[in-house]
Amino acid sequence: MQRIVVVGGGFAGVTLAQKLERHVGQDAEIVVISAENHMVFTPMLPEVAARTVNPLHIVVTGREMTRRTVWMKAKVTRVDTANHRVVYEDDRGNPHQLDYAHLVVACGAVVNLDAIPGMAAHANPLKSIGDALQLGNALIALCERAAIARPEDREGILSVVVVGAGFSGVEIAGNIADLLERVKLYYPMLSTVQPRISLLQRGKRVLPELAYESLSEFAYKKLRQRGVDVMLGVSAKEVTAQRVILGNGESIPAGLVVCTIGTAANPLLDTIGVPLEQKRLPTDPDMRVRGLRNVWAIGDSALVPNATTGECSPPTAQFALRQAVQLAANLHRELRGKPTKPFAFRPLGLMAAIGHRNAVAEVMGLKISGFPAWFLWRGVYLSKLPSLARRLQVAVDWAWELFFPPNSVELSAQSDRKTDLAHFAAGDYIYRKGDPAQHLFLVQRGRAAIYRDEQLGPVGSLEPGDHFGEGSLLNDEGEARRSVSVRAITAVDVLRLGRHDFRRLADSMTVLRQGMSREFLQRRGSTAAMELLMSQPELYDFQVSRFLRPDQRPIGEDATLGMVVDLLGDNASGFAVVDESSRVTGYVSRTEVYAAMQRHLPLNAPVTAFMLKDPPVATADDNAIAATLKLLRHDMELLPVVDDLQSRKLVGVACPLDVFRQVSTAQSPKTASTVG
């Protein structure tokens, strides 16, 4: 029996399986592998987000729509075209393999939010049923937040920014306007507040896919009448938790951001071994992947020539459905040894609902707009729903929506358990002194400054790889509050670990809690020293040369672990490691030796295998107090002193104990705070 494996259970995959059941005989096995057990009728996702349609009414499982197709809920991770095999994982991550006689790639594209800084952290995509549910919940959450906010803050909270004014962007903007207007009756305190919905479009008109510019103009005017601020020739440059920064440098408040742009090739396509074109698999006219005999591709993942127009097919649902129908016939011909036919299709038209019972449509050369287009939109999409049961359910939803307001239930998540990404633009406060402590932060990109007093200068800085905010979370006494402010110097990306998750993790891992407590104390010492310098400017005259120890012997890079052990056995605290030109390349102390022992390194292991590489150094002219701050995060007992920071040739070492001993004779450090 020959096996036809279809990867992907969306429009294209389901339709192909249905048609194959009619075309091929029982001697061919049809298998569909999909990461989800259902297909989504994506044109109605904006209505799900607007609480107009029940989400369960626009999804259907492939098993309901086919009879003898084998459905597998799994993730295909690799295609082995040489051995005609797919590799997939079950829901527990266990790998499996399945051979095929013919393979059809219909896995579609994936969302890509990385093109704009902060988009992945703060924007809501609209690709899946989960996205639509989350977006609808977030819109109700905006109303709840605005209801208890100060009156002057409500307009900023009820500000929604939609990025991209194609079909998805226009439709979701219109539906958001309808939802926020209709739920106002539940929020009398918001009756005088006009929600701000901004629709950003890089191009010169909305719905640029439409052939008739007059329809684009109609959509533009109707959206403006509904209160949507359509901004043409404007792009989003950066997205933060509170605002969207535009390409022209201006910014607009954003309580919620929706992204309808940005797609990327499915990672599976890279394993097939065929160079992608326009982020899709190039195919021959019959939809066979170029250069492969028994691999085919349709839908958003395929670049299929259209024999009717001579151009490549766009990644739209109507083309995916027709490709599936034609491919089923081609596979039937292939199995019987007959020649296949090229894909040919003339598009029937385009439609977009723009809210408030208005739509625009191009149907077989005709232009339709307003209520007739909206009525046509609903009729066409109702007829295209995959089953009679779904059609009846959606028809009832629409009838209900005519007489009753939308559901205003918010399914709130527990914020102290939330772990996510966050983006902050330069100048944004990550948190301020006195704010509730809800997260531990880990810096992924960018730099931030620490302030004990925002009117004074920073008392420390944070770089990629640093974490902060644990001080308040480790405090077991009552409601934790931030003791300092942290502000972005450059654009900053952080990973936020929720308070509840962090406390459970820290309580379960002794080494994590001890390590963070230790770094907490080190950072507090750094802050204290910096505050001391700021309070006594005369201490800037304390130069490293004043505490220089020129007689300390360095270790060469040819030293071994055994040699270092012998040297440290003489009560030495640590050694700088230098190369043949006396350039400082490392530092070694008991800390590095103990780590080498834990790694079971042999005694003849070179010092370069376990030393602290490129340690912090200072010059003789540097301020001694500022220089010693560099040691606190590296567990270094001695600071290497070099001739200059370029050549890094060792001239001696300085001990921080000598520095603080002399400083403390003048004034004891004040109790300092830390990054908490």
CA–CA separation, 607 vs 304, rounded Å?
A: 59
* Secondary structure in 3-state letters for 611-660: CEECCCCEECCCEHHHHHHHHCCCCCCCEEEECCCCCCEEEEEECHHHHH
Task: State the pLDDT at residue 546.
Answer: 85
Q: How much is the average pLDDT of 250-260?
A: 95
Q: What mean pLDDT comes out for the span 381-399?
A: 93
pLDDT higher than 50, residue 671 = no
The pLDDT of 238-257, averaged and rounded, is 94
Which residue do the tokens 């605002």 mark? 243
Average pLDDT over residues 223-236: 95
Indicate if the pLDDT at residue 519 is higher than 70: no
Q: What percent of the chain has pLDDT over 90?
A: 68
Picking from 57-61, 181-185, 568-572, which range would have the lowest pLDDT averaged per residue? 568-572
Tens of pLDDT, residue by residue over 438-450, are 888 999 999 999 9
The CATH classification number of 540-664 equals 3.10.580.10
Q: What is the mean pLDDT of residues 338-365?
A: 92
Which range is least confidently modeled, 32-46, 410-424, 475-489, 613-627?
Answer: 410-424
Q: What is the mean pLDDT of residues 529-539?
A: 55
pLDDT score for 466: 85
Q: Residue 222: is its pLDDT beyond 90?
A: yes
Tokens linked to 121: 């952290």
The stretch 137-163 carries a mean pLDDT of 95
CATH fold of 415-508 reads: Jelly Rolls (2.60.120)
pTM: 0.79
* pLDDT for 540: 61
Region 27-33: mean pLDDT is: 95
| pLDDT over 70 at 509, yes or no | no
Instruction: Say whether pLDDT at 668 is over 60.
Output: no
User: What is residue 665's predicted lDDT score, i.e. its pLDDT?
Assistant: 63
Rounded CA gap, 466 and 520, in Å?
Answer: 12
> What confidence category does residue 626 fall into, taking pLDDT thresholds of 50, 70 and 90?
confident
Confidence of residue 70 (pLDDT cuts 50, 70, 90): very high
pLDDT value of residue 670: 44
Q: Which residues of 443-477 are buried (b: 16+ CB within 10 A; e: fewer)?
A: beebbbbbbbeeeeebbbebeeebbbbbbbbbeee
Residue 674's pLDDT band (cuts 50, 70, 90): very low
Q: Could you report the per-residue pLDDT of 107-134, keeping only the tens digit for each?
A: 999 999 988 999 999 999 999 999 999 9
Identify the CATH number of the domain defined by range 2-35+74-109+265-347: 3.50.50.60
Residue 415 has pLDDT above 60, yes or no: no
pLDDT beyond 80 at 632: no
- Nearby residues of 179 by Cβ (< 8 Å), 6 or more positions away: 49, 50, 51, 136, 139, 406
pLDDT tier, 613 (very low <50, low <70, confident <90, very high otherwise):
very high
Cα(197)–Cα(480) distance, rounded to whole angstroms? 36
Q: Give the distance from CA 621 to its chain's centroid.
A: 45
pLDDT bucket at 430, cuts 50 / 70 / 90: very high
Residue 673 pLDDT more than 50?
A: no
Q: pLDDT (tens digit, 9 = 90+) per residue, 292-315?
A: 999 999 999 999 999 999 999 999
Topology classification of domain 119-261+351-403: FAD/NAD(P)-binding domain (3.50.50)
Among 12-16, 233-237, 339-343, 500-504, the range scoring the smallest mean pLDDT is 500-504
- The pLDDT value recorded for residue 669 is 45
Sheet of strand 618-619: strand arrangement: 548-549, 650-654, 639-642, 618-619
Tell me if domain 119-261+351-403 and domain 415-508 are identical in fold: no
Look at residue 672 in the predicted model and tell me its pLDDT: 41
pLDDT score at 523: 56
Q: What value does the mean pLDDT of the chain take?
A: 88
The residue extents of the domains of the chain are: 2-35+74-109+265-347, 119-261+351-403, 415-508, 540-664
